[in-house]
A and B are shown apart, each in its own frame.
Chain A
């Protein structure tokens, strides 16, 4: 009883390891392990916290970027662009030239601006439908392609860009998604505001 009170309180990681998980893992390793599942869980909780703050402190884009990115081509018709964004519920996509290099970025704002829509509505799926029918707001851009409305040159980062710098970019430019490119400018990943929040928030909860 006396001991319980003063034992250190544990932080809570996003992914809790159940005792059964640890036991199962221990059974997969061939030798005898001189540690109890409880101790392993405790070490995991603390190590997770340390890993997170290290990432936030010295992490780079490569550590947190999504590698499977939805992108469109310069010549992709806007209805397809909007449909792609709407289906996945994302607010922006990189636009690639025929070499696979990021030549621009299209966000909801680019659509809305072209359509003369004020405010900040996010109804990409609706826009997609709209583009396919006559007599709607999207009419002026109905026959256009990605290249016509994309923001260019795009703001991009490299795998080596520090997370601190990415956060500053998002903040100062008011953007939510940054394409990650290699030395030739080819798309290799994407860092979203959500990715940043996940590693940088001390509590470990996603917004």
Chain B
């Protein structure tokens, strides 16, 4: 039995093939334009204010929606649902177990994973969005539930718009695979 346990760690197959150079370029372009839009918006409208449009987990979403747009993890349902649900859970955990940051963080991420699974919205960057609600600093903590709408929902909608525009311009791509 123990042999089987260690044996499982060997892996069973090969890593999938590398994508073509064109694909690399399109992924780069999508990532550049998508993050430009939210980062540009952030510095144009919210710099020096109490609000923001850009958080780190958008970088992770960019990998999925511009780099692996066929993945179920990258579809609009997952992108929006994953971030919004995780943001809600993150803010709620901060409010519930405020001083115990480690517990708030662990609960926020783990509950987000569970909730995303349960709602068919699994989107890995959602875990980061939940975590950022707790360890993102005083500015984010002060947003309270506004965090869910701005930056999270607003920023992610801009990223989604860019993904729709860019991915469908590319001959070998289409996006999304499904909406709901």
- Name A residues whose Cβ lies closer than 8 Å to a Cβ of B: 2-7, 32-36, 38-39
Contacts and interface: CB of A to CB of B under 8 A. Distances in A.
Given A3-B173, A32-B117, A34-B71, 11 more contacts: A2-B171, A4-B174, A6-B172, A7-B172, A7-B174, A34-B72, A35-B72, A36-B177, A38-B177, A39-B70, A39-B177
Nearest to B174: A3
B179 interface: no
A14 B55 CA distance: 49
Contacts of B168: 2-3
A5 B178 CA distance: 19
Nearest to B170: A3
B148 interface: no
A204 B69 CA distance: 32
Contacts of B70: 36, 39
A48 B102 CA distance: 50
B79 interface: no
Contacts of A6: 171-172
B171 A34 contact: no
Contact of B73 (A3, A34, A39): A34
| 3 closest Cβ pairs, A-B complex | A6-B171, A3-B174, A36-B177
B77 to A, nearest CB: 12
Contacts of B177: 36, 38-39
Interface string B6-39: 0000000000000000000000000000000000
